Structure 1
Amino acid sequence: MKIAFVGKGGSGKTTLSSLFIRQLATQGLPVIAVDADINQHLGVALGLTDEESADLPAMGERLPLIKEYLRGDNPRIPSADQMIKTTPPGNGSRLLRVVEDNPVYDACARPVELEGGPVRLMVTGPFQESDLGVACYHSKVGAVELCLNHLGDGPGEYVVVDMTAGSDSFASGMFTRFDMTFLVVEPTRKGVSVYRQYREYARDFGVALRVVGNKVQGQDDLDYLREEVGEDLLVTVGHSDWVRAMEKGRPRPLADLEAANLRALETVFQAAEGSYQLRDWERYTRQMVHFHLRNARSWGSERVGVDLANQVDPDFVLREPDPRVTTPA
């Protein structure tokens, strides 16, 4: 299942993403963690040093390889140069799976050892000084969107994406790729304002959205969130000495996390587990096609020089992968 953590800058979404990833690892579940934020901090939150995090391969710099692999033998895509971030898979395309080895993971993913086992970490790459004034960060995130479009995941398999902060998470169709989106909200007017904006964007596309209240210090904070967020409030997280130690590079076993915060993390996990059962693969594919056609009309076809609407395979629906079938190399 595909899970996103979103929220305004400083809300704690990267911290909660990393806690959730650690929880999955302790249960031995296969996980691909993706840092899609313009500020790349997920690697450090998972225990890497600053130097190790900086050395992670950037997906945005390996986009030609990603495209070439994913297009496979799809007759509607004669060249990788004709693929854009929203290009949907069709018959002949190669699909990614959570539990497999492939050239995309070889080039873009690195194992991070956590309590319980390793997870694969992929990063878009930071916004460089050379990008200033000439590039859009969404061009880097496009590599993530393309991979998610071609990812056939199943129950008990997790892709967890730490999204870019603020409403930029809705600047592409990627926000519809998730079974559950956890919106991290502080008990402040600004935090609630961001929640209302997200809820409005998500509503028209049936995005499953639950709020995780963060930095909740007392009953007044809890009452405020309940009043402003209502039934969307899933759970709240309070102050954590465990998290403070982790941020200092001194992580302790996850079982040492404060009991209330451990219970909150379990509630988040149960909500994520239940979300996959609601996935409608046909609707999921239609939304993918919808955003591809919008991008094709808006800029893609003109930039590439061909009508990208022809990439849509009307007979193809992305499905849960058959474990008996091996993806072609």
Structure 2
Amino acid sequence: MRIAFVGKGGSGKTTLSALFSRHLARSGAPVLAIDGDINQHLAEALAPEDEQPFTAPPLGPHLTEIKDYLRGTNPRITSSEAMIKTTPPGRGSRLLRLLGDDELHTRHVGRAGGVPLMVTGEFDESDLGVACYHSKLGAVELYLGHLVDGPGEYVVVDMTAGADAFASGLFTRFDMTFLVAEPTRKGVSVYRQYRDHAEQFGIRIAVVGNKVTCEDDLLFLKEEVGDDLLTHLVHSSWVRAAEQGRAEAGGPDALDSLEPHNRHALNVLREAVDAHPRDWDRLHRHAVEFHLRNARSWADARTGRNLAEQVDPEFVPGPAALNSPTAH
């Protein structure tokens, strides 16, 4: 299952991404966390006590190599230059198993706080005036597009703040999107944007209230988001200790010290994710739709090709594709 955490900057989405990832990993579930935020802080949130920097190579600067690897022997994709972030897999494409023994996972997955982690890479000074951050996120979009993850496996992505995730088709790559909202007007404003966009494409979203301190906070969230409010987390001294790098918030058993209500909230999140099995046909249909949109709006002109031809009408998405004689 693929889960995105989104929300206003400062809402706590990175903290929630880290808590949920650690919660899943602690249960023994296969989980991969991905830092897709323009501010790369997920490694620090996963391992607040670790003074060693995360060292696995980021995805963004290696986008060309990732494209070359993923296109495999797909005859519809003649080169990495012809492959854009929305290019869907087809027969001959290299498909991935979660945390598999393959070139991409071996190179780009490290560990933070005991959780496997991939990072997109920072938006740095050399990118200014040359590229947008969504070009770096293209590596995440391609990764998810070629990933065949199974039941009981989880990919948790800390997304860019605000409604920027809708600037690409990446938002259609998830089974569940958790919108982290503080009990303030600004905190719920991003929710309205997501709700309106998500409704157009049948994207499943749920609101997670955060930093709730009293009944008035909870009542405010209920009045503003209604039935979309799935659960909430109360103000956490444990989280504050983690943010300050205090030792009691680190280590494999540290979540035992998280407030009981907040531990329960993490269980509610997992139950919500597990309640909705993957719809491979819908996932692939959205991927093709957004690829054709990008092709028409800019990519055909940019590449000088008719990228609609990259869509393989005979490709069957999901686990069956792994058994195809042309699969890698």
* Inter-partner Cα distance in structure 2 for 1:160 and 1:64: 24
Shifted more, 1-10 versus 99-108: the winner is 99-108
* Correspondence 1:134-213 to 2 at 5 A: 134-213=130-209
- Displacement after TM superposition at 1:317 (Å): 2.7
Aligned residues: 322
What is the aligned partner in structure 2 of residue 260 from structure 1?
A: 261
Are 2:99 and 2:105, in contact at CA under 8 Å, matched by a contact in 1?
no
* Correspondence 1:26-105 to 2 at 5 A: 26-47=26-47, 49=50, 52-53=53-54, 55-105=55-105
> After superposition, what is the alpha-carbon deviation per residue over 1:259-296, rounded to whole angstroms, capped at 9, x for unaligned?
11111111111111112x1x321121111000001111
Residue identity over aligned pairs, in percent, reads 60
Does residue 298 of the first structure (1) align with residue 297 of the second (2)? yes
Alignment counterpart, residue 216 of structure 1, candidates 212, 219, 226: 212
* Inter-partner Cα distance in structure 2 for 1:323 and 1:293: 25
Are 1:182 and 1:212, in contact at CA under 8 Å, matched by a contact in 2?
yes
* Inter-partner Cα distance in structure 2 for 1:321 and 1:105: 21
* Inter-partner Cα distance in structure 2 for 1:161 and 1:223: 29
* Inter-partner Cα distance in structure 1 for 2:323 and 2:109: 24
Shifted more, 140-149 versus 245-254: the winner is 245-254
Does residue 241 of the first structure (1) align with residue 240 of the second (2)? no
Q: Secondary structure of 2:212's match? A: coil
Deviation beyond 4 Å, 4+ runs, structure 1: 48-51, 321-329
CA pair 130-240 structure 1, distance change in 2 beyond 3 A: same
- Displacement after TM superposition at 1:132 (Å): 1.4
* Inter-partner Cα distance in structure 1 for 2:280 and 2:316: 7
Tell me the TM-score normalised to structure 1 length: 0.94
- Displacement after TM superposition at 1:56 (Å): 3.6
Unaligned runs of 5+ in 2: none
* Inter-partner Cα distance in structure 1 for 2:303 and 2:323: 37
Are 1:95 and 1:327, in contact at CA under 8 Å, matched by a contact in 2?
no
Tell me the TM-score normalised to structure 2 length: 0.94
> After superposition, what is the alpha-carbon deviation per residue over 1:147-197, rounded to whole angstroms, capped at 9, x for unaligned?
111111111001100000001011111101111000000111111211111
- Displacement after TM superposition at 1:112 (Å): 2.9
Q: Secondary structure of 1:121's match? A: strand
What is the aligned partner in structure 1 of residue 317 from structure 2?
A: 318
